[in-house]
Amino acid sequence: MTPFTKIPKQVEEVLEEVMDKFNGTASRRNFLKGSGLLVVSLSTAAMVPEGAIAAAGAQTAGTAGPYPDPDYKQLDSWIVIRDDNTATFYVGKTDCGQGTGTAFRQMMSDELDIAYNKTTCIMGSTDITVDQGGSGGSDAIQTDGWPMRRVAAEARRVLLDMASKRFGVPVEQLTVSEGVISVKADPSRKVTYGELIGGKRFNVTLTGNNIDATTGVARVKPVQELKMVGQSPQRYDIPAKVDGSLRWAGDVRLPGMVHARNVKPPFAGAKLINIDESSVKGIPGFIRVVSKGNYVAVVCEREEQAIAASRQLKVNWEKPATAPFPSSEDLFKYMRSATPTSSARPNVVGNPDEALAGAAKVIEAEYDVPFQGHTAISPAHAMADPSNGQMTIYSNDMKSYGMRTGVAQFLEMPRDRVRVVWMEGPQGYGRTAADDAGFEAAFLAREIGRPVRMQWMRHEETAWDTKGPAFTFKIRGGLDAQGNLVALDYNAQSADYNHLGYNEPDTVLIAQLMGKRRATPAPGSAATPGEMYVIPNRLMAAQVVSMPLVWETPLRTGNLRDPNGPQSTFASESFIDELAAAAKADPAEFR
């Protein structure tokens, strides 16, 4: 867990205890109730007695699971205030390194009117935070920040109402600063947030047709009244990243935990014939070889034993009859000649053919962009705990809520018996191998019946992580006698057939290797550039092509940061430079 900085030591100790509780099976609401903190409200909280809520964590198999969804329409699902006048914000996002956790604290502390250094933020753990989808689309502040601000403003309104009743004066005669409400006419009459509600529930229902629309009665502050927003406080996540004390999911240790490594096919499209388990039975700590379809993994008591077993295990594989994909040298030739699996409707403006035919000068160029790996700073990893009929996955997957749903479907478990505890880690900005490692850890944990730590090896990550699709481009441009661009013909091919989504139970790598797959692969896409140049005649066309091997291939394509954007922008802007050179014009002025 990221150390919390610049907050009272007792608050840090409480939060560390919260995270320690994640290692067990206690629900957040039972833990919070037992420790005197506010309880998370669930969707049925307003309809059941307090005692029924408190008893929810004692559920057993055959009843509702221990991890129901926190209700985003309950204020208690977002904010906890303690009697020591500190606050914790629970949000459904994940921080891939941009510092959004710090930004959320700034926005919410401003609206709540509490000191920034008296707050903490917990993100992405599916059983104790509302589902805002995790990270994606670069919209954390502009979209997801709004409901965070509104619920914090509503909490401030409720606390002012409580103080008004306590002092017997109208709210208008009160002022609040850093979590302390006082009477304007007599500042000696004051009360802290913690004194008003520490250890109690807000019991306030919010409104909104969806989580982005969540709101209370209060309005957010005008920007002129914000104090922390626009400042640059020390990011709480940086020190631990610098000194190496940051805990990733791979650092979690539980009693009885074992270690696993995959044994990937030595060539794409291979079929498993047989496994000689006797080749690794002599390794100290060896537990089991787990295999299903073409998926193979070894499980041992210690990590170095699992690594040795994965290298020593004798597996007989059968090569495919045809090549799974062309060689690197022939990739773009293959893509240009392949029959498209789908084609976007061309975007046509004016009459580009006629304009090109009448142009004073026609420029042509071809561009190629290879597959791009994520190649994260560290290989994918996860840890899964199957104890007591539930499944907890510790992962840095940026879409932890999707992982929860996907793993539940993959294992055919009730969704309310699966949770994902999000922790910071190396993968981010797209569909990474973190998805795959989480599913693998969960599957192996269920098979073994013990907590399993799964980590990919570096060579495995480089070869088998999801790739940004390869592109080929052919572009023609026509200049008139004055060097003006009068026509553009843009044509692109993308090797993006069977584009992977996030945490899909029928496309993650373990599912593919096991033979579980959807009937129809995803069509993929081939983007046209997002520029806004005014060109009187243009044709923009793009097609998707497929590699010969669609499933069980290292060339799995998926989102990588701005999906398709870098490739199409590289080709388009490079061609604009070539047109400017042909027109003997400055590239910036030409644009």
Domain boundaries, the chain: 9-247, 256-320+375-464, 338-372+467-590
Closest by CA position to 458, among listed 378, 340, 563: 378
Question: Rounded mean pLDDT of 24-36?
Answer: 40
Cβ atoms of residues 40 and 29 within 8 Å: yes
Q: Please report where in the chains the tokens 């295999």 appear, as a residue.
A: 291
What's the rounded mean pLDDT across residues 551-558? 95
Q: Decide if pLDDT at 22 tops 50.
A: no
State yes or no: pLDDT of 43 exceeds 70. no
Cα angle 26, 27, 29 (rounded to 5 degrees) comes to 130
pLDDT, one tens digit per residue, over 350-399 is: 999 999 999 999 999 999 999 999 888 899 999 999 999 999 999 999 99
Q: What is the structure's pLDDT at 256?
A: 97
Query: In degrees rounded to 5, what are phi and psi of residue 408?
Result: -60, -40
pLDDT class of 53 with cuts at 50, 70, 90: very low
Average pLDDT estimate for 58-63: 48
Q: Phi/psi of residue 110, each to 5°?
A: -60, -50
Confidence of residue 428 (pLDDT cuts 50, 70, 90): confident
* DSSP class of 560: B
Q: Please compute the mean of the pLDDT values over residues 255-281 and round it to a whole number.
A: 97
Q: What one-letter code names the amino acid at 259?
A: H
Which tens digit of pLDDT belongs to each residue from 560-571?
888 888 999 999
Rounded CA separation 585/581 (Å): 6
Contact at 8 Å (CB) between 2 and 236? yes
Residue 402 · residue 502 · CB < 8 Å: yes
Query: Considering all CA atoms of the chain, what is the largest pairwise distance in Å, rounded to the nearest integer?
Result: 87
Kindly report whether the global pTM for this prediction surpasses the value 0.85.
Answer: yes
Residue 134 is predicted with a pLDDT of: 93
List alpha helices for 369-508, DSSP H: 400-411, 434-448, 458-464
**Dist. CA 303–CA 284, nearest whole Å:** 11
Domains 9-247 and 338-372+467-590 equal at CATH topology level: yes
Please give the DSSP secondary-structure letter assigned to residue 207: B
Instruction: Please give the C-alpha separations between residue 447 and each of 67, 375, 384, 455, 511, in angstroms, as whole numbers.
Output: 22, 29, 11, 17, 15
Cβ proximity of 514 and 332 under 8 Å: no
Region for residue 561 given its phi and psi (left: phi exceeds 0; alpha: psi -120 to 50; beta: otherwise)? left
pLDDT at 452 over 50: yes
Q: The domain 256-320+375-464 is classified under which CATH number: 3.40.30.10, 3.30.365.10, 3.40.50.720, 3.40.50.300?
A: 3.30.365.10
- The predicted-structure confidence for 85-119, as pLDDT tens digits, reads as follows 999 999 999 999 999 999 999 999 999 999 999 99
Round the CA-based radius of gyration of the chain to a whole number and report it.
Answer: 28
Decide if pLDDT at 1 tops 80: no
Q: Which of 293, 289, 295 is nearest to 264 (CA)?
A: 295
Sign of CA dihedral 142, 144, 145, 150: positive
Mean pLDDT for all residues in the chain: 90
Residue 273 makes CB contacts below 8 A (sequence gap 6+) with: 316, 317, 318
CB 343 within 8 A of CB 528: no
> What is the CATH T-level fold of the domain 9-247, as seen in this structure?
Aldehyde Oxidoreductase; domain 4 (3.30.365)
Strands (E) in 257-307, as ranges, are 258-262, 271-276, 286-292, 295-300
**Calpha distance 253→434 (Å, rounded):** 19
Cβ contact 486:476 at 8 Å:
no
Q: What is the CATH number of domain 338-372+467-590?
A: 3.30.365.10
Does the pLDDT at position 155 exceed 60? Answer: yes
End-to-end CA distance of the chain: 48
Q: pLDDT value at position 4?
A: 32
Q: pLDDT band for 183, please (50, 70, 90 cuts).
A: very high
The 10 Å Cβ neighbour count of residue 168 is 7
Q: Does residue 85 contact residue 177 with C-beta atoms inside 8 Å?
A: no
Under the banding of pLDDT at 50, 70 and 90, the label for residue 27 is very low
Per-residue pLDDT at 60: 41
* Percent of the chain scoring above 90 in pLDDT: 84
